[in-house]
Amino acid sequence: VQLVESGGGLVQPGGSLRLSCLASGYTYCMGWFGQTPGKEREGVAAIDSDGKSIHAISVEGRFAISKDNAKNTLYLQMDSLKVEDTAVYYCAADPAACVWYLPDFVLSRTEAYTYWGQGTQVTVS
């Protein structure tokens, strides 16, 4: 399965962006991670094909993850962007169900996902 992200760019603080991630095959559990230079990837949000989702506290109320199963596409609506949201955002996916009884694992652990996109840069300045 290949994942292709799009939608990143430069935006002013308070602005909005919508990231998209197109999957070439079947996925069930999907997530977004953000990474800044010198740091590990941090979980932003995750969702399964039934629509159950989780968001990091830092983005709760500002970002919203969604998934269109018919289009094999994952989205991240990013509103009220802050300078500290600047990062490369990666789409991640796995064909297995999200392990919701371990929510931190689903949200934050890269080993929860088999497939990764190439990343898209989001710069808030």
Q: How many CA atoms lie within 13 A of 78 on its CB side?
A: 32
32-45 pLDDT per residue, tens: 999 999 999 999 99
Residue 21 is predicted with a pLDDT of: 98
65-81 pLDDT per residue, tens: 999 999 999 999 999 99
Indicate left, alpha or beta for 74 from its phi (over 0: left) and psi (-120 to 50: alpha). Answer: beta
Cα–Cα distances in angstroms (integers) from residue 66 to residues 89, 104, 110, in the given order: 15, 19, 19
Residue 39 is predicted with a pLDDT of: 95
3-state secondary structure of 106: helix
92-123 pLDDT per residue, tens: 999 999 999 999 999 999 999 999 999 999 99
Residue 31 is predicted with a pLDDT of: 97
Residue 105 is predicted with a pLDDT of: 92
Residue 1 is predicted with a pLDDT of: 94
Residue 60 is predicted with a pLDDT of: 96
